[in-house]
Amino acid sequence: MVSWRRLRALCRKETWQILRDPSSNLIAFVLPVIMLFIFGYGINLDSSAVRLGLVLEDHGPEAVHFAESLTRSPYLRVRPAATQADAAADLTAGRTRGFVVVPGDFGERLQRPTDEAPLLVVSDGAEPNTANFVQAYVSGAWGGWQLQRAAERGEPPPAGLNLDARFWYNPSATSRNYLVPGAITIIMTVIGALLTSLVVAREWERGTMEALLASPVTRAELLLSKVLPYYALGIVSLFLCVGVAVVVMRVPFRGSWWVLWGIGSLFLASSLGLGLLISTTLRNQFNAAQAALNAAFLPALMLSGFLYEIRSMPPVIRAVTMLVPARYFVTAMQTVFQAGDVWPVLIPSALFLGAAGVFFLGLTARKTRRRLE
C-alpha cells in the first residue's frame, strides 16, 4: 500500500514547509528553549530564601541571640521591622512572606516550662506553598536555636527525636531536577499536538488537499507523511532539550538514552495522533488551534502531575488524569532522569502511551478520507 517514493516526496514537502514557516520555527525551536529556561530558573518551588520580617520587642540578650541565629539561617532573608504594624504592612504588600515577633516578655517566658514557643509567627496565607515553608523554616530555626543554646550553656542536649531526612535521587531537593523533565513534556505536547493540529486543516483551507486527493496518494501515505516529519521534529527537539538540561542546566540524567528515545517516541505517537485527529476532524485552523489548546495543552499542564500533586486532587479529577498521556510521560521522564531505568514504573507508562498512540492514530486513520466527503 505504501510507495516509498511517494512517501519520501510527501515527507520532503512537509519538511520544507516546517522549515520555511516562521511561526512553526518559533514553536519548534525557540519556544522550547525559552520554556526550558523558565522552568529551570524562573519556576522554583524550593523557596530557598524566604523573606521574613522580624520585630524585636525584647532587646534582652536571649532575644538578640535568637535574632542573630534567624539572620544566619541560609533559608531565611530577614528584614527587620520596627513595629508589628510595619511588619504587617510589609506582609500585605508582598515584600515579606511572613514575620516573627519576639515579644517583650520573650526572656521571661523562655524560663517558664510550657510546650509553646514564646514567639508570634505569621505567614502570608495568600501564598499557601510559601506559607508552609515559612512554618517549616522558622520551626527548624527555633529548634536549632534551642539546641545551640543548650550546648553553649554546657547542658546535655535534651533527649528527643532526631529525624534525619534524605531525598533519594535528588539529595539537595532541587525542584529544577523534576520540573525540567516535566517542562520537556509540555514542550513535546506543544510540538506534537498544537503544531500538528494546524497542518491538515491548513491543507484543506488552502485547497492543496484537493490536488493531493486527485493524485495516486494512498491514505496510509497521507497519514504517514504527516506523522513522520513531525515525529522527527519532536525527537530532535526532545534530545535538544535533554541535552540543554543535562549539559547547561546540570540536571542529572541517570537512565539510558535508548529508553528516553523509546518513551519519547511513544509519547509523540499519542500527541501527534491527538493533534492530527483534531486537525482532520475540524478542517479549520482557528478552531483546531483552540481545541488543541484545551484538549492537549491544558491537561498536560494541569493534570500531568508535573507541577501539581495528582494524589491531592479529588477522586473525579484523579480519574480524569488516568486518561492524560502527559501524566504517564511525566512519570517516565522524571524516573528516567532521576531514578534511572526503573522498569516497574516505565513499563506501565510505556504500555499506556503505546495504547494511546494506537488509539489516536487509528482514529485519525479512520477519519482520513480519500475523498472530499
Could you say which residues in the range 301-320 bind other proteins, by CB under 8 A?
A: 302-303, 307-309, 311-314, 317
- By beta-carbon proximity to other proteins, the closer residue of 138 and 356 is 138
Residue (270 or 285) nearer to other proteins, CB? 285
325 with 267: CB under 8 angstroms? yes
Provide the grid cell at 103. 515579644
Is the distance from CB of 65 to CB of 149 less than 8 angstroms?
yes
Minimum CB–partner distance for residue 46 and other proteins (Å): 7
**Interface with other proteins, residue 33, by CB under 8 A:** no
6 binds other proteins (CB under 8 A): yes
Q: If you search the block for the grid coordinates 526572656, which residue do you land on? A: 107
Q: How far is the CB of 72 from other proteins (least distance, A)?
A: 18
C-alpha cell at 325: 498521556
Give the shortest CB-348-to-other proteins separation in angstroms.
10
Taking CB under 8 A as the rule, does residue 153 contact other proteins? no
Which region, judged by CB under 8 A, interacts with other proteins, from 152-160, 229-237, 256-264, 354-362?
152-160
**Residue 24 is a binding residue for other proteins (CB under 8 A):** yes
Nearest to 35 by CA among 239, 181, 194, 175: 181
Please, which of residues 265-304 interact with other proteins by CB under 8 A? 285-287, 289-290, 293-294, 298, 302-303
Residue with cell 480524569: 320
**Which residue, among 103, 74, 77, has the nearest Cα to 90 in the 3D structure?**
77
Quick one: CA torsion of 130, 131, 133, 136, rounded to 10 degrees? 180
Scan residues 222-261 and list those touching other proteins (CB under 8 A): none
- Nearer to other proteins among residue 5 and residue 258 (C-beta): 5
Cα–Cα dist 233/236, whole Å = 5
Which phi and psi angles does 194 have, rounded to 5°? -70, -45
Query: Is the CB of 41 or the CB of 257 nearer to other proteins?
Result: 41
Should residue 74 be labelled a site residue for other proteins when binding is judged by CB under 8 A? Answer: no
Q: How far is C-alpha 320 from the chain's CA centre?
A: 18
Whether residue 27 contacts residue 194, with contact meaning beta carbons closer than 8 Å, is answered with: yes
Residue from 152, 154, 160, 258 touching other proteins (CB under 8 A): that is 160
Rounded to the nearest whole angstrom, what is the least distance from the CB of residue 286 to other proteins in the complex?
6
Task: Show contacts with other proteins in window 321-350 (CB under 8 A).
Answer: 331, 334-335, 338-339, 342, 344-345
Which of 356, 143, 197, 130 has the alpha carbon at shortest distance from 263?
356
Q: Which is nearer to other proteins, 337 or 357 (CB)?
A: 337
- Which of 54, 63, 102, 131 binds other proteins (CB under 8 A)? It is 131
Residue 171, classified by CB atoms within 10 Å of its CB into exposed (0-12), middle (13-18) or buried (19+), is exposed
Among 84, 146, 148, 281, binds other proteins (CB under 8 A): 146
Choices 38-46, 243-251, 264-272, 351-359; region in contact with other proteins by CB under 8 A: 38-46
Closer CB to other proteins, residue 218 or residue 358?
Answer: 218
Report how far residue 130's alpha carbon sits from residue 51's, in angstroms, rounded to the nearest whole number.
10
Do residues 306 and 332 lie in contact, with contact meaning Cβ atoms separated by under 8 Å?
Answer: no
